[in-house]
Amino acid sequence: MQQKARLSLKTLWKMYQEGQELLQARRFEDAGLIFQKVAGARLRARPIQPAEPPIPRVTRGRNPLYVQASLGLSYCCVERGDLEEAMTVLREILAVEPENADAHCELGYVYSMKGLRGEALDSFNSAIDHNPNCAKAHKALGYLYLQEDRVEEAITACEAAVRLEPSYDIAYVELAMALRKAGRLDEAVRVMSRALQLSSDNPQYYVSLGGLLREARRYDEALAILNIGLDVDSRHSELLENICELYLEQGLLDDAIRIGNRLLRVSPNSLHARDILGVAYLQQGRINEALRIADQMVHLNPLDASHHFKKAVLFQQKGMVSSALHEFVRVLELEPDGEMADDARDAIESIDGQQMKQIIMLAAEDIVFRAKLRRNPEDAARERGFSLSYAGYHALHQLDYDTLAEIQRQPGRACYH
């Protein structure tokens, strides 16, 4: 068997740096291949010159970069979704360096992603046992505690993380979320503001801070922060969504519509943007525009009963009874036991009831119409512009046409259903 060529430490170091650059560029496949080569390489002995970079000392016999490269490989495996392979790599690292806090910490993340919270907790605590100053492990513990609603423990762990590493922006984000969950909104705002100071080019941090300010009812500040975020990323859909919602909540309907349309240019299939626009148009009394938006929502997701319900209500407001009835019936077809089903049934019954009263009055006065109703109730009703549900047409068949004149004189008498 041919032996692998031995590589110099300088070559390995350059390969490792290349892998890190690929990892930062999120080219996980390419980075993983590089890290795999570095981890499995054999080292050609050569004295290190003083001018060379601070290459790590030997940690595994002949390959001093084995652990670092293997950690890089485990990150790539996680990003690719290959959790089993990541666990294998991390366990191999810990077999060589049982005290490696980074490996314990990363293994904890993998356990957490697999839903193994007990094992994750043990791994994070092991990382801290081996390195009490590991800010990443403290932050990870805080995240895990927060997922389990152990809010005070989460706060303590995240506070330790930012104390150990004051520039650790993600730890500030976790701490802010824990403080929010504890109901300490003002503190959460201050902590999230610190995260934003550390990473002012991260548009998601503007979203988070804007959300906290909004929750604290500091609406003007929330709008200001979110709009600054748009200067960082003018096409960030979540920023646009939050600004649009805030304008709507504040009754600034023209601004809500302006931002909603801007959001549609960024996300042409956004249902959320259309939902906001529909509400804004409706509040302005612009029923046709609201109906146009509702129709687009039905087109984008025809199996969502709520979109049909919106269309039905708007048709009803415009007096388009047949179209409204069709949409209410569609709601019941899609979700007969859903949240809107009872409202749809009530609306159908109301529409049928109003029309039945008119049909009865016309039939009592119009002999020709009454005769047509006897022969074919459905065609006769449609000919006069009426549109009923199946239940409504069934009720037409049950009418006693010989007593319609009497019914007209007793309008309170039940005559159908």
Spatial distance between the Cα atoms of 144 and 138, rounded to a whole number of angstroms = 10
In Å, what is the CA distance from 339 to each residue of 298, 328, 334, 348?
A: 18, 13, 11, 16
- Check if the beta carbon of residue 89 is closer than 8 Å to that of residue 74: yes
Answer yes or no: is pLDDT of 51 > 50.
no
Quick count: other Cβ atoms within 10 Å of Cβ 79?
Answer: 16
Answer yes or no: is pLDDT of 58 > 90.
no
Rounded mean pLDDT of 141-165?
95
Structure confidence at residue 89 (pLDDT): 94
Spatial distance between the Cα atoms of 234 and 224, rounded to a whole number of angstroms = 14
Rounded mean pLDDT of 405-415?
50
Banded pLDDT at 412 (limits 50, 70, 90) = very low
Spatial distance between the Cα atoms of 316 and 183, rounded to a whole number of angstroms = 43
Comparing CA positions, the residue from 22, 60, 28, 26 lying closest to residue 43 is 60
Enter the tokens of residue 386.
Answer: 């009426």
Q: Could you tell me what percent of the chain has a pLDDT over 90?
A: 70
Spatial distance between the Cα atoms of 408 and 406, rounded to a whole number of angstroms = 5
Spatial distance between the Cα atoms of 294 and 216, rounded to a whole number of angstroms = 32
Tell me the per-residue pLDDT of 71-88, one tens digit each, with 9 for 90 and over.
999 999 999 999 999 999
Angle between helices 203-215 and 237-249 (to 10 degrees): 20
As a whole number, the mean pLDDT across the chain is 89
Rounded mean pLDDT of 378-393?
89
341 membership: H or E segment, kind and range: helix 341-365
Structure confidence at residue 405 (pLDDT): 54
Rounded mean pLDDT of 384-411?
75
Q: Which of 182-191, 221-230, 359-368 has the lowest mean pLDDT?
A: 359-368
Q: Which residue pairs from 300-306 have beta carbons closer than 8 angstroms and sit at least 24 positions apart in sequence?
A: 300/269, 300/271, 300/274, 301/271, 303/334, 304/334, 305/330, 305/331, 305/334, 305/335, 305/338, 305/340, 306/340
Q: Which residues neighbour 150 within 8 Å (Cβ) at sequence distance 6 or greater? A: none
- SS3 for 6? strand
Structure confidence at residue 409 (pLDDT): 52
Structure confidence at residue 44 (pLDDT): 66
Comparing CA positions, the residue from 262, 224, 221, 218 lying closest to residue 241 is 262
Spatial distance between the Cα atoms of 264 and 366, rounded to a whole number of angstroms = 53
- Residue 283 C-alpha from the chain's centroid: 26
44 membership: H or E segment, kind and range: strand 42-44
Enter the tokens of residue 240.
Answer: 């646009």
- Check if the beta carbon of residue 107 is closer than 8 Å to that of residue 91: yes
Rounded mean pLDDT of 18-41?
90
Answer yes or no: is pLDDT of 59 > 60.
no
pTM: 0.76
Tell me the per-residue pLDDT of 248-278, one tens digit each, with 9 for 90 and over.
999 999 999 999 999 999 999 999 999 999 9
Spatial distance between the Cα atoms of 333 and 344, rounded to a whole number of angstroms = 11
Q: Compute the residue count for the chain.
A: 417
